[in-house]
Amino acid sequence: MKKTLLTTATLLALGIAGSASAGQDHACVDDACTVQTLFAATEAGSATAGASIAAPRMGNWGIDTAGMDTSAKPGDDYFAYVNGNWAKNTPIPSDKSSFGAFLALRDLSEARVHQLLEGYALGNPATDGDSAKIAALYRGFLDEAAAEKAGAEPLKPMLAEIRAAKDKSAIAALMGRSNAGFGATLFGLGVSDDQRDPEHYTLYMGQSGLGLGDRQMYLDEKFAPQRARYVAYIEQLLTLAGWDKPADAAAKIMAMETEVAKGHWTRAESRDRDKTYNRLTRAELAAQAPQVDWNVLFDAAGVGQAESVVLRQNTAIPALAKVFAATDLDTLKAWLAFHTTDDAAGLLSKNFVDAEYEFRAKFLSGQPEPKPRWKNAVSYSEGIMGEAIGRDFVKLYFPADAKAKMDALVSNVKLAMGARLDTLAWMSPATKAEAHAKLKGFGLKIGHPEQWRDYSALEVRNGDIVGNALRARAFEWDYRRARLGQKVDKNEWGMTPQTVNAYYNSVKNEIVFPAAILQPPFFDPSADPAVNYGGIGGVIGHEIIHGFDDQGRKSDGAGVLRDWWTAEDAAKFEAQAAKLGAQYEAFEFPQLPGMKINARVAMGENIGDLGGLTIALEAYRRSLDGKPAPVIDGFTGEQRFFMGWAQVWRTLWRDDALRQQLVNGTHSPGHIRAFAPLRNIDAWYDAFNVKAGDKQYIAPEDRVRIW
């Protein structure tokens, strides 16, 4: 899978190459989840950029009532009821493949960061602190003329190293070194919290090597058009890079990656925590997969001191080693050359940038136009120094009372979860006691880190877009590998403050809410409390439930991967989870015949939505302190609660983007999430008078009741 810029690692499935959190199992509320390796800092932020950019409010009391279509019957099409006029009247921006509440809020965060970046002055990055480094990154990326003048020159030293590889040991070394630069590997390495020993970091290895992402893209006949276009893209990039016989090489690369895909685990298998912790000594790894010179690969990656490694997909690694052995040297070189070029394409001249956009954004995801260069400059700068930018973001956009209000909301939702545990008829007292202990141990991070990242060792130069990217990747990997075997930094954040998302970390047993998500439609201090409980309250509940979903439930309150369930309780849980999965797999997408939600992949997120809403509703009811909720514009409190949830998940898709989400995403599509969990909550039926015969009705005995 193509890497995202620099320190950002996309968390689509366990074991993706280069993930900084290979063992942490972050579970995010949305698929744009990213994780960065962050640690304590010393220098304060030094830039502001004039007046702050205000967040638009949703109507007068938290709901965009003009965006509703009240002619739609809630029990037939609840998404349309809450979001129908918005969906009819909102175009997807031409530089996006989907759009909705999340992306609108991300646009706001992006605009705020853009304003900050415009305020950083160029100086000497070596002596003038973080602001000069950020300015060098941002303005260097904006200098399109310089990138055009450089052409393919920045690639040449990297491609020369690949051409010089004399044998497969040299290829293994290049794979190992890709952790700290551009390139690819079949064997993704990461250093992260040890799931069996959460106090220390350990080394993980997972399957990698697929430029199209998921194995299904290679093996399912319905993706033949995508495969054909991918081969053309490989040839195009190799031609631009000046590689010999690009057409022949492209065909061989595709054949190689198809064999790699056959060896890969499915995405569902790769998220099963009963299977993805397999510690081997180095000698055991060499015995199981002797085709690779592991000493060379580990040493090149800078982790030669590791005496053991945890395999995420233990049968896939030997299979990929066999593919490595069966592939001729020239094809391996061409494969590395392509992925190196693909990895760097967005930083090069226009012909490379356009080629990447035409394939990855336009063809695969249906995005009609490329993003303006300034947006990519923002992503590039944030990917390298996101937390330094976050210091200034917080000064402008995280008021002092926001954390206190969130603390109160989280406390109420946790209390509701505790109360729900006490009432669960299907769970035994022994398992309930363990669940209560886990809930009590939940950590909470809101807004921003208490200690900021230190970027003093990062070398940045004015006007060196590719060089800065290379040095930044080395800087990140050096930090990650240096902590191997060390004590875990409990203060570390997996997101910058300006990230619009939230996550649960199973190994730290904590929930995290960056400052940027604490905006309408998720959270508005001036909005009706019912809407806030349906919005951010549902998100809080979602993240709490991740500690108790089909995978999160496998770790205890200390973050240790162990089974704390009775066999009977686990069987009851699995039966209800399967019932929920069947509901989601029944949804059809007429514009994409044959495409379905992969319920096993999205299971944790679907359980998070259902359980999160259930406990958020309980928390809202408790917040009323026995008093009746007011009626606002004819809507009851519980109606407004459910409307708040559905508004958060208003989403529009281009067909190709929806296909990519169904294949590569870990979440159900947003327009499904707006209503699917509500069908299992009795209060939704009461609030909107949903009856038998309505299209979204589920009989009480068939409703899923887990948490």
Tokens read off for 278:
């397999």
What would the mean pLDDT of 235-259 be, rounded to a whole number?
98
Model pLDDT, residue 30:
80
CA distance 513 to 493: 10
Per-residue pLDDT for 8 more than 80? no
Model pLDDT, residue 405:
87
Per-residue pLDDT for 217 more than 80? yes
Model pLDDT, residue 31:
75
If phi > 0 it is left, if psi is from -120 to 50 it is alpha, else beta; for residue 30 that is beta
**Buried b or exposed e, range 655-679, using 16+ CB within 10 angstroms:** ebbbbbbbbbbbbbbbbbbbbbbbb
Residues 6+ apart with CB under 8 A from 11: 19, 21, 26, 28, 33, 34, 35, 666
C-alpha distances in angstroms, 227 versus 234, 364, 544, 584, 659? 11, 10, 39, 28, 14
pLDDT grade, residue 569 (50/70/90)? very high
Per-residue pLDDT for 600 more than 70? yes
- What residue ranges define each of the domains in the chain, with the CATH number in brackets? 152-347 (1.10.1380.10), 400-449+493-702 (3.40.390.10)
Radius of gyration of the chain from Cα atoms?
25
Under 8 Å between Cβ of 449 and 434: no
What would the mean pLDDT of 296-315 be, rounded to a whole number?
98
Among 603, 614, 551, 613, which Cα is nearest to 424's? 614
CA distance 198 to 263: 30
pLDDT tens digit string along 653-697? 999 999 999 999 999 999 999 999 999 999 999 999 999 999 999
- CA neighbours within 13 Å on the CB side: how many for 500? 21
- For the chain, give me the number of helices (H) and strands (E)? 28, 12
Q: Greater confidence, 359 or 45?
A: 359
Per-residue pLDDT for 363 more than 90? yes
pLDDT tens digit string along 533-562? 999 999 999 999 999 999 999 999 999 999
DSSP secondary structure, 349-414, as one string? -HHHHHHHIIIIIIIHH--SSPPPHHHHHHHHHHHHHHHHHHHHHHHHH--HHHHHHHHHHHHHHH
CA distance 297 to 294: 5
Mean pLDDT for all residues in the chain: 93
pLDDT grade, residue 33 (50/70/90)? low
pLDDT grade, residue 288 (50/70/90)? very high
CA 221 to chain centre: 27
What pTM does this model have? 0.92
The owner of tokens 């790894």 is 285
Per-residue pLDDT for 509 more than 70? yes
Sign of CA dihedral 479, 485, 491, 497: positive
Per-residue pLDDT for 447 more than 80? yes
What would the mean pLDDT of 559-580 be, rounded to a whole number?
96
Model pLDDT, residue 25:
66
Tokens read off for 230:
């991918």
- CB neighbour class for 15 (10 Å; exposed up to 12, middle 13-18, buried from 19): buried
CA distance 284 to 162: 29
What would the mean pLDDT of 55-75 be, rounded to a whole number?
96
Tokens read off for 73:
């019957």
DSSP β-bridge partners for residue 98: 653
Under 8 Å between Cβ of 205 and 312: yes
pLDDT tens digit string along 118-155? 999 999 999 999 999 999 999 999 999 999 999 999 99
Per-residue pLDDT for 596 more than 60? yes
The continuous run of DSSP H or E covering 19 comes out as none
pLDDT grade, residue 401 (50/70/90)? confident
- CB neighbour class for 127 (10 Å; exposed up to 12, middle 13-18, buried from 19): exposed
What would the mean pLDDT of 206-214 be, rounded to a whole number?
97
360 phi/psi in degrees, rounded to 5: -75, -40
pLDDT tens digit string along 191-205? 999 999 999 999 999
pLDDT grade, residue 295 (50/70/90)? very high
What would the mean pLDDT of 502-512 be, rounded to a whole number?
96
Sign of CA dihedral 653, 659, 662, 666: negative
Q: Greater confidence, 503 or 47?
A: 503
Model pLDDT, residue 22:
45
Model pLDDT, residue 50:
55
Tell me, what amino acid is at 43? E
DSSP β-bridge partners for residue 207: 187
CA distance 513 to 502: 5
**Buried b or exposed e, range 268-302, using 16+ CB within 10 angstroms:** ebbbebeebbebbeeeebeeebebbbbebbbbbbb
Under 8 Å between Cβ of 508 and 557: no
